Amino acid sequence: MKFNPSRYTEMEYRRCGKSGLKLPALSLGLWHNFGDVDDPKVYRKTLHTAFDAGITHFDLANNYGPAPGSAETNFGKILHTDFKNHRDELIISSKAGYTMWDGPYGDWGSKKYLVSSLDQSLKRMQLDYVDIFYHHRPDPETPLEETMTALDLIVRQGKALYVGISNYRKEEAAKAFKILKELGTPCLIHQPKYSMFERWVEDGLLDLLEKEGVGCIPFSPLAQGLLTNKYLKGIPKNSRAAKKHGFLQKAEITPARLQQVTALNEVAKKRGQSLAQMALAWLLQDKRITSVLVGASSSEQLLDSLKCLQNEKFSKEELNAIEKILK
């Protein structure tokens, strides 16, 4: 495979906390669109488009699909054909923490589950190691020391180069960072849900990450599609909100929320951006953000998202206008 020779000059790379690692400003998440229910030609092209644009980070988890595990299997096949000469140019991450198999060892944060899950992920992707391995969510029943010791063990076994956490609140994250630091495997990165409509990370977590030298990579930056032009005229038939089992529920799309979306869209238009591009740029204007995780159902959608990098700066007036709308 021949890829764009100038891909690395066209992408912005940001240092991940106080580590030696840099990540692209946009990373590609494989949560949706890469499972067995999806078209291999479409997602293969999306991966090519991403790498051609300088996106070096592909983010997966054990349960991505559907079916669970299929995103890793499908990614692994393409990795070993199309990207076989480029493994060392890629950052590949996976996670474990949600239900993956039946019985008491297929969920949450025990050492048994995390080590077994990563072994399965490596087999599916045909890899010796992942670059980043995350604990996907806090476990209220397993001692945090056990979960963090498992992450440390995984690095010492050579199955991951770095470790991270996802969905941890400030207090839980602070404890996790302390344990990992004492073990000698510092936390590289935190992956929280963060967008214009989901801002709990601003309540101390971002300050903690900056203080501890940990990177931040928000997921769901477009609020499951709400921060796009998709819902400006109501709920489209094939949208996530129209599906009964989707993560975005109809009940969330209130008249007040649609009013905000419409007003934000007007600000975006004045900036010469789509609403989605502005929502991504809004996250990236905070220098504590290492990378923003985007999903894409097609290469065209990904190329549209990448245009956010052409205008990441906001004037005080624009930021004030956005805050006024969001409040």
Cα separations in angstroms, 160 against 94, 145, 153, 164, 236: 9, 19, 9, 10, 41
Give mean pLDDT, residues 85-99. Answer: 98
Cα separations in angstroms, 148 against 95, 104, 110, 185, 250: 13, 19, 10, 9, 37
Q: 129-145 b/e with 16+ CB inside 10 Å = b?
A: ebbbbbbbbbbeebebe
Query: Which pTM value belongs to this model?
Result: 0.94
Q: Give the pLDDT confidence score for residue 234 in this predicted structure.
A: 65
Q: Give the pLDDT confidence score for residue 233 in this predicted structure.
A: 73
Cα separations in angstroms, 241 against 2, 88, 97, 235, 245: 39, 39, 25, 7, 9
Q: Give the pLDDT confidence score for residue 230 in this predicted structure.
A: 84
Tens-digit pLDDT profile for residues 199-209: 999 999 999 99
Give mean pLDDT, residues 251-257. Answer: 82
Tens-digit pLDDT profile for residues 302-319: 999 999 999 999 999 999
Indicate the range of 45-49, 170-174, 212-216, 253-257 predicted with least confidence: 253-257
62 phi/psi in degrees, rounded to 5: -55, -35
Sorting pLDDT into bands at 50, 70 and 90, what band is 273? very high
Task: Give the chain's mean pLDDT.
Answer: 95
Task: Work out the angle at residue 251's Cα, subtended by the Cα atoms of residues 245 and 257, and round it to the nearest 5 degrees.
Answer: 125
pLDDT above 80 (res 235) = no
Looking up tokens 């238009």, which residue turns up? 269
Q: Give the pLDDT confidence score for residue 238 in this predicted structure.
A: 62
Q: Does domain 7-224+283-312 have CATH number 3.20.20.100?
A: yes
| CB distance 26 to 56 below 8 Å | no
Q: Give the pLDDT confidence score for residue 195 in this predicted structure.
A: 98
Closest CA to 168 of 143, 200, 126: 200
Looking up tokens 């849900």, which residue turns up? 193
| CB distance 122 to 69 below 8 Å | no
Sorting pLDDT into bands at 50, 70 and 90, what band is 57? very high
Domain ranges of the chain: 7-224+283-312
pLDDT above 70 (res 251) = no
Tens-digit pLDDT profile for residues 17-55: 999 999 999 999 999 999 999 999 999 999 999 999 999
Sorting pLDDT into bands at 50, 70 and 90, what band is 4? very high
Rounded Cα gap, residues 175 and 158, in angstroms: 24
pLDDT above 70 (res 250) = no
